[in-house]
A = this chain, B = another copy of it.
Amino acid sequence: MKKKNSIHDIARHLNISATTISFVLNGRAAEKRIGKDLEKKILQYVKKVGYQPNMVARSLRTGKSKILGMMVEYISDPFFSSITRLIEEKAYHLGYKLLYSSTENDTQKSKELIRVYRERQVDGYIIAPAPGIEKDIKALIDDNIPVVLFDRFFPKLLTSNVVIDNRGGCYDATKYFIQNDYRNIAMVTLDADQIQMKDRLNGYIKAVEEKNRKPIIAKIPFTLSNEERVVKILEFIKANRAVDAILFSTNYLAISGLKAIELLQLRIPDDIGIISFDDNTHFALFSPSVTSVAQPIEDIANEVIRLLGKCLSEGNYKKDQQETVVLPTKLMIRNSAVAVNNEHTVKVLA
């Protein structure tokens, strides 16, 4: 092992104190009125020997790690991986690294992760929280550790939050179905009482009830595998023959649904219309292409970093200054939910 040189090795070699080197390295040379020549000499030497300060030692001393803890549901989910990438990039520019992990939406794993992150003294948390971890997050904010929640949040907790207008997005999607003459619009969602899922459901219900129609809802347990979901959705459609449109509350639910519809040999958008909440890079390439409610990924990442940056830089940040940002969604109109019994259908039948 090449011997690592410490700040003291350099001090010895240059015949000055470690203090001076530390000041120079931390850009406090001017403030401490260190001689320009000395500063230059130190900088040159440090560069020459390729000295890298030991961040672990620095962390121990300062109590700051310059590491952010990020927890998402599944890093392999395209929504979360895109967000993570953007946040990583932005955090990097602020001088922070990301320690990240997938929670699998599991309460125990999440608690465990927060514990591990605390042990590591991460400076801030970016969390798409699993259910049941209110207390752990409360403990964090009680200790004045910056936390930004995204995708979902706990209304009773005074955290900074970045979410999207789930309710409005689903309301708009349902209205779009109605405009296109779909009559029996169902919603397939997750059997979870997370706020974002509730809001999505409520947006759908509002639009349907405005038309004096009855909501038709399937709640799929979120523990199921893709195959099991396909079966559930298939059974739901079979049990509700009249359904001619389905709003799926997540990306992967829509993908499972597509499979179920294929198995039932129903045609999209004629026999049944489809809209997916949360867009997917590939939906435009599906056949037919899938209409979706897109989340503003870039904006979410920007807001998360902006809010966290605020807490981080304020030192002792104000608890009463936490904000909740609600970002609008965008309906990506493609071909899985177009007007039935009109131009399109005619074309298909011709």
Binding site for B on A (CB under 8 A): 1-2, 52-57, 59-60, 65, 67, 74-76, 78, 81-82, 84-85, 88-89, 92, 97-102, 115-116, 118-121, 142-144, 255, 258-259, 280-282, 285-287
Sort A-B residue pairs by CB-CB distance and give the 6 closest, nearest first: A287-B287, A81-B81, A55-B119, A76-B85, A282-B282, A76-B81
The residue of chain B having its C-beta at the shortest distance from the C-beta of A145 within the complex is B1
Chain A to chain B contacts (Cβ below 8 Å), 28 pairs: A2-B142, A2-B143, A52-B115, A52-B119, A55-B120, A56-B59, A56-B60, A57-B60, A60-B60, A67-B120, A75-B81, A75-B84, A76-B82, A76-B84, A76-B85, A81-B81, A88-B102, A89-B102, A97-B99, A97-B101, A98-B100, A99-B99, A255-B285, A258-B285, A280-B282, A282-B286, A286-B286, A286-B287
Known: A85-B102, A282-B255. A56 touches B97 (CB 8 A): no
Q: Is the CB of A119 within 8 A of B54?
A: yes
Closest CB of chain B to A304's CB: distance in Å? Answer: 16
- How many of these chains are in the complex? 2
The residue of chain B having its C-beta at the shortest distance from the C-beta of A117 within the complex is B97
Q: Is the CB of B85 within 8 A of A74?
A: yes
B-side contacts of A56, CB under 8 Å: 56, 59-60, 65, 120-121
Closest CB of chain B to A224's CB: distance in Å? Answer: 17
Closest CB of chain B to A331's CB: distance in Å? Answer: 21
The residue of chain B having its C-beta at the shortest distance from the C-beta of A83 within the complex is B76
The residue of chain B having its C-beta at the shortest distance from the C-beta of A58 within the complex is B119
B-side contacts of A60, CB under 8 Å: 54, 56-57, 60
The residue of chain B having its C-beta at the shortest distance from the C-beta of A283 within the complex is B282
B-side contacts of A85, CB under 8 Å: 74-76, 102
B-side contacts of A2, CB under 8 Å: 142-143
Q: Is the CB of A88 within 8 A of B101?
A: yes
B-side contacts of A255, CB under 8 Å: 281-282, 285
Q: How far is the CA of A59 from the CA of B282 in the complex (A)?
A: 44
Q: How far is the CA of A75 from the CA of B80 in the complex (A)?
A: 10
Q: How far is the CA of A215 from the CA of B321 in the complex (A)?
A: 64
Q: How far is the CA of A76 from the CA of B87 in the complex (A)?
A: 12
The residue of chain B having its C-beta at the shortest distance from the C-beta of A120 within the complex is B55
Q: How far is the CA of A255 from the CA of B283 in the complex (A)?
A: 12
Q: How far is the CA of A144 from the CA of B281 in the complex (A)?
A: 41
The residue of chain B having its C-beta at the shortest distance from the C-beta of A259 within the complex is B285
Q: How far is the CA of A74 from the CA of B60 in the complex (A)?
A: 31
Q: How far is the CA of A89 from the CA of B102 in the complex (A)?
A: 8
The residue of chain B having its C-beta at the shortest distance from the C-beta of A139 within the complex is B2
Q: Is the CB of B142 within 8 A of A116?
A: no
